[in-house]
Amino acid sequence: MSPTAPTGELRAWIEHHLDPLEEGQSSEGASDFDLGANAFPNEPVELTPAAVLVGLIEREYGYSVLLTRRADTLRRHTGQIALPGGRCDPGETIWQTALREAHEEVGLAPDYVSLAGLSSPYRTGTGFLVTPVVGFIQPGFSLAANPAEVADIFETPFGFLMDPANHEQHERQAPTGETRRFYAMTHEDRFIWGATAGMLRALYDRLYGAAVA
Protein backbone atom coordinates (compact mmCIF):
# COMPACT_ATOMS: atom_id res chain seq x y z
CA MET A 1 0.00 0.00 0.00
CA SER A 2 1.28 3.45 -0.90
CA PRO A 3 2.46 5.60 2.04
CA THR A 4 0.28 8.36 0.58
CA ALA A 5 -2.89 6.20 0.61
CA PRO A 6 -5.95 7.43 2.56
CA THR A 7 -4.95 7.64 6.21
CA GLY A 8 -7.61 5.21 7.48
CA GLU A 9 -6.49 2.44 5.14
CA LEU A 10 -2.83 3.22 5.71
CA ARG A 11 -3.22 3.10 9.47
CA ALA A 12 -4.65 -0.42 9.30
CA TRP A 13 -1.83 -1.49 6.96
CA ILE A 14 0.84 -0.13 9.29
CA GLU A 15 -0.68 -1.75 12.38
CA HIS A 16 -0.88 -5.09 10.58
CA HIS A 17 2.85 -5.12 9.83
CA LEU A 18 4.13 -4.16 13.28
CA ASP A 19 5.02 -6.40 16.21
CA PRO A 20 2.59 -6.35 19.16
CA LEU A 21 3.62 -4.23 22.13
CA GLU A 22 4.17 -7.27 24.34
CA GLU A 23 7.15 -8.30 22.23
CA GLY A 24 8.94 -5.15 23.35
CA GLN A 25 10.25 -6.96 26.40
CA SER A 26 12.62 -8.94 24.18
CA SER A 27 15.98 -7.65 22.94
CA GLU A 28 16.09 -10.02 19.96
CA GLY A 29 16.03 -9.05 16.31
CA ALA A 30 18.33 -6.02 16.12
CA SER A 31 18.93 -4.50 12.71
CA ASP A 32 22.49 -4.92 11.44
CA PHE A 33 22.49 -1.84 9.22
CA ASP A 34 23.79 0.68 11.73
CA LEU A 35 26.85 2.06 9.96
CA GLY A 36 27.64 -1.51 8.86
CA ALA A 37 26.98 -4.88 10.45
CA ASN A 38 30.62 -5.40 11.46
CA ALA A 39 31.53 -1.80 12.22
CA PHE A 40 31.66 -2.28 15.99
CA PRO A 41 34.03 -5.12 16.93
CA ASN A 42 34.26 -3.80 20.50
CA GLU A 43 30.50 -3.53 20.98
CA PRO A 44 29.48 -4.55 24.52
CA VAL A 45 27.91 -7.98 24.91
CA GLU A 46 24.92 -6.56 26.79
CA LEU A 47 23.12 -3.72 25.08
CA THR A 48 21.24 -1.03 27.00
CA PRO A 49 17.51 -1.04 26.10
CA ALA A 50 16.11 2.20 24.76
CA ALA A 51 13.07 3.32 22.78
CA VAL A 52 11.96 6.07 20.42
CA LEU A 53 8.49 7.21 19.41
CA VAL A 54 7.66 7.20 15.71
CA GLY A 55 4.76 9.59 16.04
CA LEU A 56 2.44 9.76 13.01
CA ILE A 57 0.31 12.89 12.73
CA GLU A 58 -2.61 13.09 10.30
CA ARG A 59 -2.40 16.14 8.05
CA GLU A 60 -4.25 17.24 4.91
CA TYR A 61 -1.60 15.65 2.69
CA GLY A 62 -1.43 12.43 4.75
CA TYR A 63 0.67 11.37 7.72
CA SER A 64 3.76 13.22 8.88
CA VAL A 65 6.44 12.04 11.33
CA LEU A 66 7.33 14.01 14.47
CA LEU A 67 11.07 14.73 14.60
CA THR A 68 13.41 16.90 16.65
CA ARG A 69 16.78 18.56 16.31
CA ARG A 70 18.91 17.81 19.32
CA ALA A 71 20.14 20.72 21.44
CA ASP A 72 23.56 22.17 20.65
CA THR A 73 24.55 21.84 24.31
CA LEU A 74 24.30 18.04 24.45
CA ARG A 75 27.48 16.02 24.80
CA ARG A 76 26.55 13.46 22.11
CA HIS A 77 24.96 13.78 18.68
CA THR A 78 24.75 17.56 19.00
CA GLY A 79 22.34 19.15 16.53
CA GLN A 80 21.38 15.86 14.88
CA ILE A 81 17.87 15.00 13.77
CA ALA A 82 16.22 12.50 16.11
CA LEU A 83 13.01 10.75 17.05
CA PRO A 84 11.91 11.52 20.63
CA GLY A 85 13.31 8.83 22.91
CA GLY A 86 16.00 7.58 25.24
CA ARG A 87 17.12 4.77 27.51
CA CYS A 88 14.65 2.70 29.50
CA ASP A 89 14.30 3.30 33.22
CA PRO A 90 14.25 0.21 35.47
CA GLY A 91 10.86 -1.51 35.37
CA GLU A 92 9.62 0.34 32.29
CA THR A 93 8.24 -1.30 29.20
CA ILE A 94 9.55 -0.19 25.82
CA TRP A 95 6.38 1.78 25.04
CA GLN A 96 6.33 3.45 28.45
CA THR A 97 9.84 4.69 27.76
CA ALA A 98 8.86 6.09 24.36
CA LEU A 99 5.85 7.93 25.77
CA ARG A 100 7.77 9.27 28.78
CA GLU A 101 10.66 10.51 26.68
CA ALA A 102 8.33 12.19 24.17
CA HIS A 103 6.60 13.96 27.04
CA GLU A 104 9.89 15.05 28.59
CA GLU A 105 11.50 16.18 25.33
CA VAL A 106 8.66 17.83 23.41
CA GLY A 107 5.78 18.04 25.89
CA LEU A 108 3.59 15.52 24.06
CA ALA A 109 0.93 14.28 26.49
CA PRO A 110 0.66 10.45 26.37
CA ASP A 111 -3.14 10.68 26.24
CA TYR A 112 -2.85 11.96 22.66
CA VAL A 113 -0.91 8.93 21.44
CA SER A 114 -2.62 5.74 20.24
CA LEU A 115 0.05 3.04 20.17
CA ALA A 116 0.09 0.84 17.07
CA GLY A 117 2.99 -1.56 17.66
CA LEU A 118 6.75 -2.00 17.41
CA SER A 119 9.17 -1.79 14.52
CA SER A 120 12.49 -3.67 14.37
CA PRO A 121 14.92 -3.11 17.27
CA TYR A 122 18.00 -1.19 16.18
CA ARG A 123 21.51 -1.73 17.48
CA THR A 124 23.76 1.33 17.82
CA GLY A 125 27.51 1.63 18.06
CA THR A 126 27.20 3.32 21.44
CA GLY A 127 25.83 0.17 23.06
CA PHE A 128 22.06 0.67 22.85
CA LEU A 129 19.30 -1.53 21.50
CA VAL A 130 16.64 0.97 20.42
CA THR A 131 13.08 -0.19 19.74
CA PRO A 132 10.93 2.17 17.64
CA VAL A 133 7.39 2.41 19.03
CA VAL A 134 4.89 3.51 16.38
CA GLY A 135 1.95 5.59 17.54
CA PHE A 136 -0.74 7.77 15.98
CA ILE A 137 -0.95 11.26 17.48
CA GLN A 138 -4.50 12.53 17.84
CA PRO A 139 -5.49 16.12 16.94
CA GLY A 140 -5.51 18.78 19.64
CA PHE A 141 -2.05 18.13 21.07
CA SER A 142 0.40 20.88 21.95
CA LEU A 143 4.21 20.72 22.02
CA ALA A 144 6.93 22.58 23.89
CA ALA A 145 10.60 21.77 23.42
CA ASN A 146 12.70 21.01 26.50
CA PRO A 147 15.63 23.39 25.82
CA ALA A 148 18.06 21.13 27.66
CA GLU A 149 17.48 18.40 25.05
CA VAL A 150 15.71 19.79 21.99
CA ALA A 151 16.53 22.79 19.80
CA ASP A 152 13.65 22.40 17.35
CA ILE A 153 10.51 20.34 16.71
CA PHE A 154 9.26 19.71 13.18
CA GLU A 155 7.41 17.25 10.95
CA THR A 156 8.46 15.43 7.79
CA PRO A 157 5.96 13.76 5.42
CA PHE A 158 5.68 10.02 5.99
CA GLY A 159 5.40 9.51 2.23
CA PHE A 160 8.80 11.13 1.70
CA LEU A 161 10.46 9.06 4.42
CA MET A 162 8.96 5.82 3.07
CA ASP A 163 10.10 6.47 -0.52
CA PRO A 164 13.28 4.43 -1.19
CA ALA A 165 14.29 6.95 -3.85
CA ASN A 166 14.99 9.34 -0.95
CA HIS A 167 17.16 6.84 0.96
CA GLU A 168 20.75 7.86 0.31
CA GLN A 169 23.57 5.49 1.24
CA HIS A 170 26.80 7.00 2.51
CA GLU A 171 30.18 5.69 3.62
CA ARG A 172 32.67 7.25 6.00
CA GLN A 173 36.03 6.15 7.30
CA ALA A 174 36.01 5.70 11.08
CA PRO A 175 39.01 6.80 13.19
CA THR A 176 39.75 3.11 13.77
CA GLY A 177 39.95 2.47 10.04
CA GLU A 178 36.65 0.68 9.44
CA THR A 179 34.30 1.79 6.70
CA ARG A 180 30.99 2.79 8.21
CA ARG A 181 27.86 2.77 6.08
CA PHE A 182 24.71 4.67 6.90
CA TYR A 183 21.45 5.86 5.42
CA ALA A 184 20.48 9.50 5.06
CA MET A 185 17.36 11.34 3.93
CA THR A 186 17.47 15.01 3.01
CA HIS A 187 14.15 16.85 3.17
CA GLU A 188 14.27 20.59 2.50
CA ASP A 189 17.12 21.77 4.75
CA ARG A 190 16.97 18.78 7.14
CA PHE A 191 19.67 16.10 6.90
CA ILE A 192 18.33 12.99 8.61
CA TRP A 193 21.04 10.37 9.02
CA GLY A 194 22.62 7.78 11.31
CA ALA A 195 20.42 5.81 13.68
CA THR A 196 17.31 7.89 12.96
CA ALA A 197 17.53 7.31 9.20
CA GLY A 198 18.43 3.67 9.84
CA MET A 199 15.33 3.10 11.95
CA LEU A 200 13.14 4.79 9.35
CA ARG A 201 14.68 2.63 6.64
CA ALA A 202 14.04 -0.47 8.77
CA LEU A 203 10.40 0.62 9.09
CA TYR A 204 10.22 0.97 5.31
CA ASP A 205 11.66 -2.56 4.92
CA ARG A 206 9.06 -3.91 7.34
CA LEU A 207 6.13 -2.17 5.64
CA TYR A 208 7.16 -2.26 1.98
CA GLY A 209 9.99 -4.80 1.62
CA ALA A 210 9.85 -7.40 -1.14
CA ALA A 211 8.69 -10.13 1.24
CA VAL A 212 5.79 -8.09 2.66
CA ALA A 213 2.35 -9.48 1.94
pLDDT digits over 111-124, tens only? 999 999 999 999 98
Q: Which pLDDT score is estimated for 38?
A: 33
Buried b / exposed e over 71-80, threshold 16 CB at 10 Å, is beeeeeeeeb
The pTM of this model reads 0.85
Pick the closest to residue 68 from 132, 143, 148, 152 (CA basis).
152
The model's pLDDT over 132-190, given as tens digits with 9 standing for 90+, comes to 999 999 989 999 999 988 999 999 999 999 999 999 987 776 666 666 777 999 999 89
**How crowded is residue 95: how many other Cβ atoms within 10 Å of its Cβ?**
22
- Among residues of the chain, what percentage have pLDDT more than 70? 80
Q: Please name the residues in contact with 178: beta carbons below 8 A apart, sequence gap of 6 or more.
A: 36, 38, 39
